[in-house]
Every structure is written in C-alpha cells, then in structure tokens.
C-alpha cells in the first residue's frame, strides 16, 4: 500500500468511530449473503469522511452498523469508546439518541409535523425541553435558511429544503456524530452540492464528526478523507482522496 493510500485509510487523533474486523452476513445457509468482510474502519473526532463505492458494496450496511440500527455478525465496533456489541436494544436507542444525528437519503421527515416541530422533536428526544428546544430549532432553521418556512409541512417544501430541514434535525442538540446516507441522491447537482456544503459547514462549526455514504463524486471535494469500499471490504483508493487544500485537519 502506498503512503497516500495509508493516509486515505487512517484517521488522526482520538477516535469517534472504531470498527475492527466487522463482518455482516444476511440470511443463512445457501441463501447467506456476506455484505461486509472483516472491515476495519476508523474515524477521528471532528473528521469528515466520505464512504464511497458501487451499489451493493456494503457501504450502507457499514453505516447502519455504525448507526446502531444493525448489529454486526462479527467484529468490534465502538463509538467514542462506547462498545456496541452485546448491548440491549434500549441501550442502542439511547446511544442513537445521545450520539448520532442521521441524514437519510429520502429526508424521512415526519409528514404531519412542521419543519420546526421536526427539528424540535430531536431536541426533545435529546432531553432538551420547552422553550430551549423551540429556540434551538428556530436557530438551526435560520442557519439552514428556512426561518420563514418553519411552519411548513415537509410536503410543502422542495426536495432541497426538506434535506436542509433533515440536516437541521440531525444537528439538533449537537450530537458528536452525524451519519448521512446518500444525502444528495434525490437532489440535482447544484442543490446536492449546496446541501452537502451546508452539512459540512454546520458540522465543522460544531466540531461534529461526519460520515457520509455517497457515490456522488461532485461532492468529494468537501471530504477530509475518502474511504472506498468494494465487495464488503475497505480498499485503498488514493486517487479518491480530496486535495490537501480542501481537507480539514481534525
């Protein structure tokens, strides 16, 4: 492996995400399908990593395991030193609530709640109550440029606006880790870049660690580090590393 490739794979500083030897097998017997094969994946605190690869390579499976919504068949995973293996569903929910902000491919906002209430909900789930939750939600919506649309339902917003609400929701209460799954998939090139840039800016302002699963090479320039995954394994891809001038030292 070249030095550049090593650099592309290794984080610097204390670890936010530490996955070692992670495997995931779906199904059993003849129908078994191995999605991940002994993956080692580390992300330093404050780092922004893009996880790239072709469809079916295992990147979303890895993101799901890091997001505590899927358990690994084998291997060790910890977030900020908190191990994920052998813990109850309730504890996993607690870890998700406390540590992780999610940005989903399809925004996944609550259709019956306004933009403000979608963001406020996340504050409240993180234990922030009343006026503080509302003020925090309003500030975040202002920051993503949707202050004047805070009472709109998701169905009354454009795709880009919905994704910006989703980013505000993910950052509500400033979780230390944001996991984003193809956040630009449903957006045009311009909106996709804008939304990702917004996510990157807000995360860096708050020192949040970000892992983005994407195959959208138009946003690669926003990453500190790009990790490629193929056939369930991390592969060295120095050519995918962003330019050093665009990277961000954690």
Q: Is 231 in the site for another protein (CB under 8 A)?
A: no
Residue from the set 129, 131, 148, 245 that interacts with another protein by CB under 8 A: 129
- 79 forms bridges with which residues in the sheet? 17, 82
Q: Is 20 in the site for another protein (CB under 8 A)?
A: no
Tokens of 50: 């893009």
Give the binding range for another protein (CB under 8 A) out of 79-87, 135-143, 194-202, 223-231.
79-87
Tokens of 142: 């202002």
CB 235 within 8 A of CB 58: no
Give the binding range for another protein (CB under 8 A) out of 33-41, 157-165, 174-182, 186-194.
174-182
Q: Are strands 33-44 and 48-52 parallel, antiparallel or unpaired?
A: unpaired
Q: Is 41 in the site for another protein (CB under 8 A)?
A: no
Between 154 and 160, whose beta carbon lies closer to another protein?
Answer: 154
Binding mask 83-102 for another protein (x = CB under 8 A): ------xx--xxxxxxxx-x
Q: Is 175 in the site for another protein (CB under 8 A)?
A: yes
Give the binding range for another protein (CB under 8 A) out of 32-40, 104-112, 189-197, 218-226.
104-112
Backbone angles phi, psi at 186, to 5 degrees: -95, 10
Site size toward another protein (CB under 8 A) is 49
CB 53 within 8 A of CB 228: yes
- 25 forms bridges with which residues in the sheet? 34
Give the N- to C-terminal CA distance of the chain in Å, as an integer: 24
Residue from the set 139, 197, 207, 217 that interacts with another protein by CB under 8 A: 207
Q: Is 201 in the site for another protein (CB under 8 A)?
A: no
Q: Are strands 74-79 and 82-83 parallel, antiparallel or unpaired?
A: antiparallel
């Amino acid at each position: 492996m070249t030095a550049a490739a090593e650099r592309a794979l290794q984080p610097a500083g204390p670890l936010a995400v530490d996955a070692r030897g992670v495997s995931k097998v779906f199904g059993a017997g003849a129908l078994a399908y191995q999605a991940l094969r002994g993956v080692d994946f580390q992300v330093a605190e404050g780092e922004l990593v893009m996880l790239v690869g072709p469809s079916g390579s295992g990147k979303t499976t890895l993101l799901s395991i890091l997001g505590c919504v899927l358990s690994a068949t084998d291997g060790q995973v910890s977030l900020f030193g908190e191990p994920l293996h052998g813990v109850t569903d309730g504890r996993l929910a607690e870890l998700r609530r406390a540590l992780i902000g999610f940005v989903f491919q399809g925004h996944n906002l609550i259709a019956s709640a306004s933009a403000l209430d979608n963001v406020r909900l996340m504050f409240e789930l993180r234990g922030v109550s009343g006026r503080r939750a509302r003020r925090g939600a309003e500030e975040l919506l202002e920051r993503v440029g949707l202050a004047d649309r805070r009472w709109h339902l998701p169905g009354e917003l454009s795709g880009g606006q919905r994704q910006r609400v989703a980013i505000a929701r993910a950052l509500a209460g400033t979780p230390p880790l944001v996991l984003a799954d193809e956040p630009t998939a449903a957006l045009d090139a311009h909106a996709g870049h804008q939304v990702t840039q917004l996510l990157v800016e807000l995360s860096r302002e708050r020192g949040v660690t970000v892992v983005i699963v994407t195959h959208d090479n138009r946003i690669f320039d926003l990453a500190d580090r790009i990790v490629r995954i193929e056939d369930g394994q991390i592969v060295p891809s120095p050519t995918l590393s962003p330019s050093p001038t665009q990277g961000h030292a954690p």
